[in-house]
Chain A
Amino acid sequence: EALVLNDPDFQHEDLNFLSRSQRYEQAIRKSALMVMKLREYGIADPEEIYWFKSFVHRGRPEPLDLHLGMFLPTLLTQATPEQQDRFFMPAWNLEIIGTYAQTEMGHGTHLRGLETTATYDPATQEFILNSPTVTSIKWWPGGLGKTSNHAIVLAQLYTQGQCKGLHAFIVPIRQLGTHEPLPGITVGDIGPKFGYDEMDNGYLKMDNFRIPRENMLMKYAQVEPDGTYVKPLSDKLTYGTMVFIRSLIVGDSARSLSRACTIAIRYSAVRHQSELKPGEPEPQILDYQTQQYKLFPLLATAYAFHFVGAYIKDTYRRISGDINEGDLSELPELHALTAGLKAFTSWTANAGIEECRMACGGHGYSRCSGIPDIYVTFTPSCTYEGENTVMMLQTARFLVKSYTQVSSGQEVTGMVSYLNDLPRQRIQPQHVAARSVRINEPLSLVEAYKARAARLVEAAAKNLQAELNLRKSKEDAWNRTSVDLVRASEAHCHYVIVKLFAAKLSEISNAAVRAVLTELCLLYALYGISKNTGDFLQAGILTEAQSTQVYQQVKELLAALRPNAVALADAFDFHDVHLGSVLGRYDGNVYENMFEWAKKSPLNQKEVHESFHKHLKPMQAKL
C-alpha cells in the first residue's frame, strides 16, 4: 500500500477532470509501470499482486485486467504443454497482450447461442474464423478495443461438416510492431459507457481469418490434422472457473457497499441540517432517525456480505481441493449457491450504493463524493458473469430439484437440508412456529428465515407442479412460474446470509466487538423481516404483534448503533486515496476541500469561458 502511495510515478490528476481518452491513457501508463515495478520488487504471489494492483488502480478496472485475469489463466488451464511453450512466456512478458472474447452483440448469458464460426480446413491445416452476421460481432471484451494484440475467441467449431459446439482459439488480431489490425480483422472500441472509462471494451469482426490448427486450445477437446474431432472427458470442470469469478463478485459487493457506507456515514456526521430541538444548533444529520434508517441497515449488510464473501472463498478452496482429487459431489450445490448469492449481493449492493449516494443529498451527486464512480463501476456486475435473473433461476432449479428429492423421500444435505423438515411441519399447525420466534436472538431469527425459505420454495414448487398439470410444455410451465421461483431463491439466499452472519458471532473473542456485531446482525435480520413482513405474516412465522415489535426493535437498534457508527465505518480501513471521496475524508474537512477540488474543474481553467465570446456576447449584441 505504502509502496504505491509514495511512488511519484503513480500520481496523476484527479480522474474526474479527465476525458475518456485521457483516463484510458493514464490507466495504460499505470498498468505498464505496474508490471515493471512488480518485476522490480519481485512480487509474484497472486494475493500480493492483487493488492498491489488494486492500489495502483484504486479498485478501478484497467485495460490489462483480462490479460491477467482471463488470458493467462485460460492458457494455463486449457492449453497443451506445446501451446504453453509457444504462448505463455511471451504473454507473461507482455509481448503478447491478450483478451478473452466470448460475448457477442446479440448473445450473452446463453452461450450455446453464440454465432462466431471456426471451420477446419484440412487442406491447409487451418481454422477459418468468421463473424457471419452483425449480431455475431464480438462485443464488450475488455482490452480488446485498443490494447490487445491477441484474443482467445470462443467460436462454434465446424469440422468434417459437423458442428461440435463452442471451443476456444488463440487469434492474433494486431500486427506485432505496428499494432495495426491484421487483414481480415476489424477491431475497435465500443464507445462510451456508464462507467469503465479507463477500459477499452471492444468489438471484433473476423472475415475468413485463418489461424493454424495449433491455435485451438486443445488440452481437452482436439481436432486432429485430418479433421477428426476428439471429445473432451468432462465438461463439468469449466464450472470451477465460473464459481470462482462469481465468488469474487460477492466479495466485490461487500467492498463496494462498504466504501459507499464509509463515505455516507462520515459525511452524515459532518453535515448539519435543520432543527431537531427548537433553539438548538443544527444537528448532525446522522442524528435523524430517517437518516439512520437509510444507512445503518446498509452498514449491517456490508458486514454481512463480508462474511458471506469469506465463506464462499473458503468453501471454494476446500471444494477445489476435492475437485482436483476427482470428487465433484459438492460442486452442484456450490454452483447453485454462488449463482444465487452473486445475484443477491450484487442487487442489494447496487441499490445500497445508490441509497448511500442519495443519503448525501446534493453533494452525493457531485463526482467529488466518489459515490457516482463506485456505482457506475459496480453496477455492471449485476449483468456480467451471468445476468442476475438467470442466476436466480439457476439457484431455483437446484432448490426445486432438492424439494422434489425430499418429496420422494430422499434426504438432502448442505444449506438446503431445511427442506427435509417440510413433510414433518405439515403435520403441525403453523402458529406454533410463530410463538417460538424470539426477536432478540440471532439464532432464533435464523430459524424464522429458514421457515420463510422453506415456505417459498414449497410454494414455488407447488405452483410449478400446478402449471405442469395444466399444460404440456415443461418450459412454458417453468416460465409461468419464474417470478415465484426468483422469490424462492431470494429467500434461500437471504437465509444463508443471516445464518452465516449469526454463526460468525460465536467466533469473535473480544466482548465489545461481539456486542456491536451482534447488534448489527440483529439489525440485518430484523430489517430484512420488516422489509418482507408479507412473507413472514403470510406463512404464520410471525404474528401481527411480533411484526410490530420487529419494527420497534429495528428503531431501537438504530439508536443503539448510532454512537459506534463512524467507528464501524472506520473499521473497513479504507485509505483516503482508495475512497477517492471529498465527502468521505477521514479528517472530515469536507467543505474547504470541496472548494479546492472545484477550482480544478476544466470549466474553470479560464476566468471567462470562450463560450462567452463565441455565443453569449454576439447574442446580447443582436437582440
Chain B
Amino acid sequence: GVNPDLASERQTASFSVEKLTAWLDGGAEHTRIRRAVVEAIQSDPIFSRENQYFQSQNERYEAAVRKAVHLQKKMREMGWTENGPEYKYIYRALSGDVALLLQRVFKRSISVLGSEKQIAKWIPLATQYQIIGSYAQTELGHGTYLQGLETTAVFDVSTQEFILNTPTVSAMKWWPGDMGRSATHTVVFAQLYIHGKCYGVHPFIVQIRSLQDHSLCPGVTAGDIGPKMSFEHADNGYLMLQKVRVPRENMLNKFCEVQPDGTYVTRGSEKINYFPMTTVRISIISDEVIIPLMKACTIAIRYSVVRRQSKLKPGEQEAKILDYQTQQEKLLPQLAAAYAFHFINNYLQELLDRGYREIQRKNFEPLPELHAFSSGFKAMVTQYCTSAVEICLRACGGHGYSLLSGLPSLYTKILASCIYEGENTVLLLQTARFLIKCFMAASAGQPIPPSVAYLAAVNAGKCPAKNKLDFLRPDIYTEAYRHTAVRLISSVVAKLQDLIHSGVKKYDAWNQCTVQLVQAAKAHCHYISVVNFAETVEKLETKPDIQKIMKHLCDLFALHGIFSNAGVFLHDEYISGAQMDVATASYLDLLAVIRKDAVPLVDAFDFTDKTLNSALGSYDGQVYQRLYEWAQKSPTNKQISPSYEKYLKPLLHNTLSKL
C-alpha cells in the first residue's frame, strides 16, 4: 500500500493531476501514447535498470549496447518508426541508458550537410545499421572554438583523395560518443587544405573500423577516454589519424565542394552550418535537462513528506521535513523552475519551427535570432537546472548521497550538459553580442526582431508596488525584470563605448566587459522566461483549477528570482529597500500555499517508478523498506569479501607477532 504520509498529500490536491499531466503532454492522446511506449519498454526485462547502480563501466557499456540492439528489434515489433509519434518517448522510457545514440547525430549531419547523392548513399546504410556512426568534432586541446581545430585534410589531386592527419597530441579527437569501442564510421571535422591553402573547417566521412572484424583501419588509433563522472555506459572515445585517405566524395558537400582539379566552390549561406547546432541545443533542453530536474523534484518532494525529523511542536509527532520553511524554500522554487523551463522549451520549439520554415524558403534572416536564443537558453537552463538538481540532492540529507536515491546519477549526468554543445560562458557571450547589436539598432531607430522588441521600449520610472498583493501581479514583476534586463544591457553598451572612446582596442574592451555581458545575457533569458510563464498562465482560462496553481508557481518563479538577485533590482532603486522587504514577505507566503499541492504537482510529471529508479522517490513512498531490500542486493553483500581472508584476518590475529 501507499505510505499514509504520502497518501494524505494526494487527497488535498486543488486540481486534477490527470488533467494537468495531459495538458503538460500537449493533450490526452499524447499521454496515452507516451504511457504505451513506457509500458512496452519497461515491461521488457532487457531494458531493466535495476542493477545499474551496481555495475562496472564495462558492464554498463555492454548493457547499453545490448539495449541499443534490442531496441531495433522492439521498434520493428511495435511498428514504431523514426517519424512516428512514439519515437520521442522512447528515450524518456529508456532514461538514456543506451548506446549508439550518435547514430542519429551522424545521420542528421549527413542529411543537413550532405548532397542528395551522399544522403542516398549513407543514410540507408546507417538506418540498416550496416555501419555505426559517430561525430568527431572536439579535440583534446580544442572545444567550443571551432576555428582552433588542428586536424588536417589535405587534398591530393593525383589520387582524388583527402589525406587526414592528426599532427599533434592536442589535435587528437577526444570525447565523441560511441567512438571508443562501437563506431565503424565517423564524421571528422578538419581544416581543409588545397594546394597548400587552408579553407577552414569541413566535415569528412571517415571509416575507422573494419566492417568484417571490427579491427581498427590502417592509420587509425582509437579507444575509450576512460572513466568520467557519469555516462559510464557510453564509450566516449579518442581518435588519431595518420595519413588516412578518403575519397573526394567523402567530404560532405551540400554547401561547399572541392572539384576534381582542386577548385573550391561554396554555395548557400555559411551560417547554415550553425543550424544543426541550434537544433541540437534546443533538443537537449527537454530530454537532458528539464526531465532530469522534474525527476529530481519528484524524488526530493515525495521523500520530504515521508521523512520525519525533529519536532515542530512539543508533544506532537516528528514533523514531515517538507513542513519546514527552510525545506520548502529549497525545493519549491526548483519545482517552479521545472515548470517555467518546460514552457520555455515550448516557446523555443515554436521559434525553431518558424525559423525552419523560413530557411526552407531560403530566407536566412531568422538565423542570428535563433542562434542567440538557443545559445542563451541552453546556457541559462542547463546552469539553473544543474544547481537545482544539486539542491534536491542535498535536500535529501544522507540518503540523497546513496546511489539508490537516484539523485547522484541525475546530477552527474545533468552537469555534463553545462559543457557539451557549447560551453555556457561562451554561449552567453554570443547571446550578449546579439542583444547589443539589437539594442544599438533599436537606438538608431532600425527594426529589430519582435522577441527583443522590449529593448526599444522607454525605460523609466519606479516599481509601483505598494503591498504584498501587488507583487503577485504579473504586470508588476515582469516590468521589474524588463527594466533590469534593459538597464544591464544599456549600461554595458555605455561601458563598451566609453572604453573604445578612451582608446582601448575593441577586443580588449570586450574582454574587460565580459563579466557584465554574461550578466546581461542571463537577465535577458530570465526576463523572457518570466514573461513566457505569465503568458502561458493567461492562456489557461478554460482550466481554472490548473490556472490557479500555475499562477502560484509563476509568481514563485518570478519572486524567487527577485529575492535571489535583490542587488540587481535594488541597484537603481527601481525597487526600493522597503519594497524589497514586501516582495520577500510575499515570496515566503507563497511557499506555504504551494506546499499543499507539492506532491500532486510532481505526480503530474507522471514518471513511473522504473523511470525514476529511486528508493526515495517511488510512488508508494515505502522508502525505508525499499532502501533496505535494495541494499541487500548489492554485490558487496552477495559475495564474501576477499578482503577479510587476505588482509583483515592476518591483521586481527597475527598483529601482535608482526608488531
Q: Are A479 and B312 in contact (CB under 8 A)?
A: yes
Q: Does B158 contact A (CB under 8 A)?
A: no
With A290-B425, A537-B571 already in contact, the answer to whether A603 and B224 are too (CB < 8 A) is yes
A113, A288, A475: the one within 8 Å of B309 (CB): A113
Q: How far is the CA of A77 from the CA of B220 in the complex (A)?
A: 65
Q: How far is the CA of A271 from the CA of B144 in the complex (A)?
A: 13
Report the stretch among B21-29, B106-114, B280-288, B634-642 that lies at the interface: B634-642
Q: A610 to chain B: which residues have CB within 8 Å?
A: 62
Q: Are B169 and A591 in contact (CB under 8 A)?
A: yes
Q: Are A609 and B643 in contact (CB under 8 A)?
A: no
Q: How far is the CA of A97 from the CA of B643 in the complex (A)?
A: 14
Q: Are A273 and B145 in contact (CB under 8 A)?
A: yes
A473 to chain B, nearest CB (A): 6
B285 to chain A, nearest CB (A): 18
Q: A607 to chain B: which residues have CB within 8 Å?
A: 215-216
Q: A290 to chain B: which residues have CB within 8 Å?
A: 425, 429, 514-515, 518
Q: Does B658 contact A (CB under 8 A)?
A: yes
B63 to chain A, nearest CB (A): 9
Q: Are B224 and A24 in contact (CB under 8 A)?
A: no
Q: Are A105 and B170 in contact (CB under 8 A)?
A: no
Q: Does A419 contact B (CB under 8 A)?
A: no
Report the stretch among A132-140, A222-230, A311-319 that lies at the interface: A132-140
Interface size on B, residues (CB 8 A): 137
Q: Does A12 contact B (CB under 8 A)?
A: no
Q: Are B181 and A35 in contact (CB under 8 A)?
A: no
Q: Are A544 and B573 in contact (CB under 8 A)?
A: yes
User: What is the count of residue pairs linking A and B with beta-carbon distances less than 8 angstroms?
Assistant: 371
Q: Are B628 and A191 in contact (CB under 8 A)?
A: no
Q: Are B634 and A192 in contact (CB under 8 A)?
A: yes
Q: Does B462 contact A (CB under 8 A)?
A: no
Task: Mark contacts of A23-48 with chain B using CB atoms, 8 A cut-off: 1 yes-contact digit, 0 otherwise.
Answer: 01100110010011001100000000
Q: Does A190 contact B (CB under 8 A)?
A: yes
Q: B132 to chain A: which residues have CB within 8 Å?
A: 616
Q: Are A617 and B312 in contact (CB under 8 A)?
A: no
B198 to chain A, nearest CB (A): 14
A236 to chain B, nearest CB (A): 20
Q: How far is the CA of A275 from the CA of B170 in the complex (A)?
A: 17
Q: Does A615 contact B (CB under 8 A)?
A: yes
Q: Does B437 contact A (CB under 8 A)?
A: no
Report the stretch among B51-59, B444-452, B475-483, B550-558 that lies at the interface: B51-59
Q: Are B514 and A475 in contact (CB under 8 A)?
A: no
Q: How far is the CA of A538 from the CA of B577 in the complex (A)?
A: 5
With A113-B318, A191-B54, A361-B423 already in contact, the answer to whether A16 and B226 are too (CB < 8 A) is yes
A139, A382, A482: the one within 8 Å of B394 (CB): A382
Q: Are B419 and A482 in contact (CB under 8 A)?
A: no
Q: Are B646 and A25 in contact (CB under 8 A)?
A: yes
Q: Does B298 contact A (CB under 8 A)?
A: no
With A368-B226, A387-B397 already in contact, the answer to whether A534 and B416 are too (CB < 8 A) is no
B109-156 contacts to A, CB under 8 A, are 128-130, 132, 138, 140-145, 147-148
Q: How large is the interface on A (under 10, 10 to 19, 20 to 34, 35 or more residues)?
A: 35 or more
Q: How far is the CA of A113 from the CA of B577 in the complex (A)?
A: 42
Q: How far is the CA of A39 from the CA of B182 in the complex (A)?
A: 51
B229, B566, B628, B639: the one within 8 Å of A203 (CB): B628
Task: Mark contacts of B609-653 with chain A using CB atoms, 8 A cut-off: 1 yes-contact digit, 0 otherwise.
Answer: 000000000000000110110111111110101111011111111
Q: Does B81 contact A (CB under 8 A)?
A: no
Q: A594 to chain B: which residues have CB within 8 Å?
A: 140, 174
Q: Does B503 contact A (CB under 8 A)?
A: no
With A179-B649, A537-B567, A615-B69 already in contact, the answer to whether A193 and B408 are too (CB < 8 A) is yes
With A24-B643, A595-B172 already in contact, the answer to whether A383 and B62 are too (CB < 8 A) is no
Q: How far is the CA of A193 from the CA of B615 in the complex (A)?
A: 13
Q: How far is the CA of A555 from the CA of B652 in the complex (A)?
A: 59
Q: Are B571 and A533 in contact (CB under 8 A)?
A: yes
Q: A602 to chain B: which residues have CB within 8 Å?
A: 56-58
With A16-B226, A188-B637, A598-B225 already in contact, the answer to whether A479 and B324 are too (CB < 8 A) is yes
Q: B399 to chain A: which residues have CB within 8 Å?
A: 105
A282 nearest CB neighbor, chain B only: B148
A32, A110, A271, A361: the one within 8 Å of B310 (CB): A110
Q: B145 to chain A: which residues have CB within 8 Å?
A: 273-275, 282
Q: Are A134 and B637 in contact (CB under 8 A)?
A: no
Q: Does A483 contact B (CB under 8 A)?
A: yes
Q: How far is the CA of A533 from the CA of B144 in the complex (A)?
A: 33
Q: Are B419 and A362 in contact (CB under 8 A)?
A: yes
Q: B573 to chain A: which residues have CB within 8 Å?
A: 544
Report the stretch among A142-150, A327-335, A446-454 that lies at the interface: A142-150
Q: Are A547 and B571 in contact (CB under 8 A)?
A: yes
Q: How far is the CA of A487 from the CA of B147 in the complex (A)?
A: 46
Q: Does A424 contact B (CB under 8 A)?
A: no
Q: Does B84 contact A (CB under 8 A)?
A: no
Q: A611 to chain B: which residues have CB within 8 Å?
A: 61-62, 65-66, 181-182
Task: Mark contacts of A276-308 with chain B using CB atoms, 8 A cut-off: 1 yes-contact digit, 0 otherwise.
Answer: 111000100000111101100000000000000
Q: B129 to chain A: which residues have CB within 8 Å?
A: 619-620, 623
With A190-B631, A612-B181 already in contact, the answer to whether A103 and B398 are too (CB < 8 A) is yes
Report the stretch among B261-269, B355-363, B505-513, B540-548 that lies at the interface: B505-513
Q: B508 to chain A: which residues have CB within 8 Å?
A: 276-277
Q: How far is the CA of A176 from the CA of B215 in the complex (A)?
A: 53
B227, B313, B403, B424: the one within 8 Å of A475 (CB): B313
Q: Does B460 contact A (CB under 8 A)?
A: no
Q: Are B325 and A479 in contact (CB under 8 A)?
A: yes
Q: Are A534 and B646 in contact (CB under 8 A)?
A: no
Q: Does B189 contact A (CB under 8 A)?
A: no
Q: A479 to chain B: which residues have CB within 8 Å?
A: 312, 323-325
Q: Are A544 and B514 in contact (CB under 8 A)?
A: no
Q: Does B235 contact A (CB under 8 A)?
A: yes
Q: B408 to chain A: which residues have CB within 8 Å?
A: 193-194, 376
Q: Does B580 contact A (CB under 8 A)?
A: yes
Q: Does A108 contact B (CB under 8 A)?
A: yes
Q: B147 to chain A: which residues have CB within 8 Å?
A: 275
Task: Mark contacts of B192-218 with chain A using CB atoms, 8 A cut-off: 1 yes-contact digit, 0 otherwise.
Answer: 000000000000000000010111100
A529 nearest CB neighbor, chain B only: B567
B429 nearest CB neighbor, chain A only: A290
Q: Does A519 contact B (CB under 8 A)?
A: no
Task: Mark contacts of A525-556 with chain B using CB atoms, 8 A cut-off: 1 yes-contact digit, 0 otherwise.
Answer: 00000111111111110001001000100010
B325, B577, B581, B656: the one within 8 Å of A480 (CB): B325
Q: How far is the CA of A387 from the CA of B321 in the complex (A)?
A: 13
Taking each of B225, B309, B310, B659, which has the highest tally of chain A beta carbons within 10 Å of its own beta carbon? B225
Q: Are B309 and A200 in contact (CB under 8 A)?
A: no
Q: B370 to chain A: which residues have CB within 8 Å?
A: none
Q: Does A567 contact B (CB under 8 A)?
A: no
With A603-B224, A615-B65, A623-B129 already in contact, the answer to whether A289 and B515 are too (CB < 8 A) is yes
Q: How far is the CA of A547 from the CA of B62 in the complex (A)?
A: 56
B436 to chain A, nearest CB (A): 16
With A273-B142, A595-B172, A598-B238 already in contact, the answer to whether A24 and B651 are too (CB < 8 A) is no
A107, A277, A362, A601: the one within 8 Å of B223 (CB): A601
Q: How far is the CA of A293 from the CA of B61 in the complex (A)?
A: 38
- Provide a sorted-by-A list of 29 A–B residue pairs whose CB atoms are within 8 angstroms: A21-B639, A29-B643, A29-B647, A93-B656, A94-B652, A108-B397, A109-B309, A191-B53, A276-B508, A278-B507, A361-B144, A361-B419, A362-B420, A366-B227, A383-B394, A475-B313, A476-B312, A480-B592, A483-B329, A486-B326, A534-B567, A603-B223, A612-B181, A612-B182, A612-B214, A615-B62, A616-B65, A616-B182, A617-B214
Known: A193-B403, A358-B419. 19 other contacts (CB 8 A): A16-B227, A29-B643, A36-B659, A146-B644, A176-B652, A179-B644, A273-B148, A276-B508, A290-B429, A290-B515, A366-B228, A383-B398, A483-B325, A555-B515, A598-B238, A601-B224, A603-B180, A609-B61, A616-B214
List the 7 closest A-B pairs by CB distance, nearest first. Answer: A534-B566, A533-B567, A603-B224, A194-B408, A274-B145, A191-B634, A189-B636
